[in-house]
Each structure stands twice: as C-alpha cells, then as structure tokens.
Amino acid sequence: MTIELLGGKILSPYFGGSVYVWGSIITVFMLALSVGYLFGGKLSLNNPNTRKYGIIFMLAAISVVPLTMGHEAVSEWVFDVTDDPRYGSLLASTILFLIPSIILGMVAPYSVRLLVRTAHSSGQTAGFLYFVSTLGSAGGTLATSFYLVLWFKIDHILYGSALILFTLGLIAFFFPQPPLSAAVNSNEHIE
C-alpha cells in the first residue's frame, strides 16, 4: 500500500492527479496481485520452506530498486510516446509497478502454506493471515499518507520499504523454520 500510494505522487507530475491515474495504479496493482497469488500458490507446492519464503521477500525488495531509480525516466519516456494521460498512466504504472506487486502478491499464498497445520484449521489460518495482511495494509496506508510523505522524500520511503522487505527476507532465510509450524509472521508489508 505504501508503494501504491506513492505511485500517485510518482505519476502526477506527468499524468496529473486525476481519478484515471489512480484507476491505472489500482488496476495494475490488482492485476499484479492476482497473478502473484497464482504464482505464489503454485510455488508453495514444491517443497515449501522459509528459506524460499525469505527469497521472495528479498526479490521483492530488489525489484523496488529499479522502480525507485527509474520512475522519472520511465514516466518521461511514456509522456513522449502517448499524449493521452489515461493510457499514459496505465502504461507507466504497468512498467513501474507490475513486477514488484506480482512478487509481493506471492507472499500471501506462500504464507498460508507455511502456516497451515491441518485442513481442519486452514480456514482459521487463512483468516488470520488476511487479518494480519489487511491490517498491515491499513497501517501502511495511514503511515504513508499522514506522516511518511511529511517526513521523507518519496525515493527514501521506497528505499526504506525495500530495506525492510530485505531484512525480513534475511531473517526468514537465516533462521529457517520447518513448515507446518508457526513460521515468521512477517507479512505486514505485503500489498
């Protein structure tokens, strides 16, 4: 959500702050998450463990870096190739946000796989995960829109998010837990 909110600020100098800019950003995030859920689920079939889980986090962190470094150049280029701000913002959002959001989307189903003990309790586990991740989204939204933009530059917030993701990934990677037990509950920053 932090990245999604900053997306508006990243694109507005080129495509305006209009509702279609938000429409583009939300569309791309939703599409990417849906693909990410599918991939994450698929990946969890194959010998799931928290090491791989940590790698997803680290990949997500790494994917935020080119986004942060390249958003100006990308927006500039898209502004040159299309003068319709609707499709311009859609194209720019796709280039910038699709990959990071797909990877972040993979976290949720993988978490379910790591945390579920029995089929009997799977609903409860999934419910708890939704609870944590959605609460995290709410927290990220509020923190970003109320405070972070007042305290930091956009790029610094993005690098900060990447750093947190990477650290979480490292923790999951170096302190592996066997699946089917309470693994690291570190998915506050997804979505």
Partner 1 sequence: MKSFIAKTILATLTASALFIAAPEQANAKIIEQERSLYQNVYMVEEYGMHCMRFRKKNKNDLSQSCIFLDAPEIFVFDYYKQAMGATFFLDDPKEILIIGLGGGVLANTFGEVYPDAHITSVEIDPVVVKMAKKYFDYDDSKPNFETHVRDGRVFVKRALKDDKRYDFILLDAFNSDYIPEHMMTKEYLEEVKALAKDDGIIMANTFSTSDLFHHESATYAEVFGPMYQINFKNKKTNRVIIVSKKPLPEKRQLLQKANKLKGELLIYGVDTLALFDAISDEVNWDTEAEVLTDQYSPANLLK
Site residues (CB under 8 A) for partner 1?
9, 12-19, 79-80, 83, 85, 146, 149-150, 152-155
The distance of closest approach from Cβ of residue 13 to partner 1 in the complex, given in angstroms and rounded to an integer, is 5
Determine which helix (DSSP H) or strand (DSSP E) holds 51, and give its type and residue range. Answer: helix 50-81
The distance of closest approach from Cβ of residue 20 to partner 1 in the complex, given in angstroms and rounded to an integer, is 9
Nearer to partner 1, 75 or 186 (CB): 75
- The SS3 assignment for 38 reads helix
176: how many CB neighbours lie within 10 A of its CB?
16
**What is 94-141 written as a DSSP string?**
HHHHHHHHHHHHHHHHHHHHHH---TTTHHHHHHHHHHHHHHHHHHHH
Nearer to partner 1, 17 or 70 (CB): 17
Nearer to partner 1, 128 or 152 (CB): 152
The distance of closest approach from Cβ of residue 70 to partner 1 in the complex, given in angstroms and rounded to an integer, is 15
Contact 187, 114 (CB under 8 A): no
Nearer to partner 1, 23 or 179 (CB): 23
CA-based nearest residue to 70, from 158, 8, 160, 142: 158
The distance of closest approach from Cβ of residue 187 to partner 1 in the complex, given in angstroms and rounded to an integer, is 28
The distance of closest approach from Cβ of residue 64 to partner 1 in the complex, given in angstroms and rounded to an integer, is 16
Nearer to partner 1, 19 or 45 (CB): 19
